[in-house]
């Protein structure tokens, strides 16, 4: 396993967070494609349209970034961004062993802001209130 130096995984800070502890829904996951995998942390974002990881993760997983499906999306800053969707498996690292990995498409993008970190959308989207 190659390690991705992604120091911002723990950099989920809010303004004035020094006033009180801020708890975030951050989970430890294993993202894999074929026999390649990377353990990392991700913020569960129930409002996310996509699970988004930095392009470096695609490289570690042996995926050709631009070989995925091109997607354009608007960020929270109202700017247009592009990324590439690839199928991967995501396993919660501290889940019971009998829980199967989640098959999902993850959007990998260059210049994903370190202050944002990895984002996980909620699965499945259908049937949710």
The CATH number of whichever domain residue 45 belongs to comes to: 2.40.70.10
The answer as to whether 6 is a domain residue is no
The answer as to whether 71 is a domain residue is yes
Size of the chain, expressed as the number of residues it contains = 129
The answer as to whether 36 is a domain residue is yes
Is the model's pLDDT at 114 over the cut of 90? Answer: no
Choose the weakest-confidence range: 1-15, 31-45, 67-81. 1-15
The answer as to whether 129 is a domain residue is no
The answer as to whether 5 is a domain residue is no
Q: What angle do CA 12, 42, 75 make, to 5 degrees?
A: 70
User: Mind giving me the DSSP string for 66-85?
Assistant: GGSEEEEEE-TTS-EEEEEE
- Domain count for the chain: 1
Dig out the tokens for 93 from the structure: 């690292």
Highest mean pLDDT: which of 13-27, 30-44, 45-59, 106-120?
30-44
The answer as to whether 28 is a domain residue is yes
Model's pTM, two decimal places? 0.76
The answer as to whether 33 is a domain residue is yes
Q: Name the residue among 4, 69, 61, 1 with its Cα closest to residue 34.
A: 61
Q: Which domain holds residue 83?
A: 23-120
pLDDT-based confidence at 107, cuts 50/70/90?
very high
The answer as to whether 12 is a domain residue is no
Helix (H, G, I), strand (E, B) or coil at 55: helix
């Amino acid at each position: 396993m190659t390690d991705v130096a992604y120091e911002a995984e723990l950099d989920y800070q809010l303004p004035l967070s020094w006033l009180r502890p801020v708890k975030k829904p951050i989970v430890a996951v294993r993202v894999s494609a074929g026999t390649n995998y990377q353990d990392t942390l991700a913020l569960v974002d129930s409002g996310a349209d996509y699970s988004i990881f930095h392009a470096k993760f695609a490289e570690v997983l042996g995926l050709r970034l631009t070989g995925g499906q091109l997607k354009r999306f608007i960020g929270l800053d109202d700017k247009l961004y592009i990324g590439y969707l690839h199928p991967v498996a995501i396993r919660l690292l501290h889940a019971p062993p009998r829980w199967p990995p989640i098959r999902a498409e993850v959007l990998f993008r260059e210049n994903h802001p370190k202050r944002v970190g990895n984002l996980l959308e909620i699965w499945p989207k259908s049937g949710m209130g």
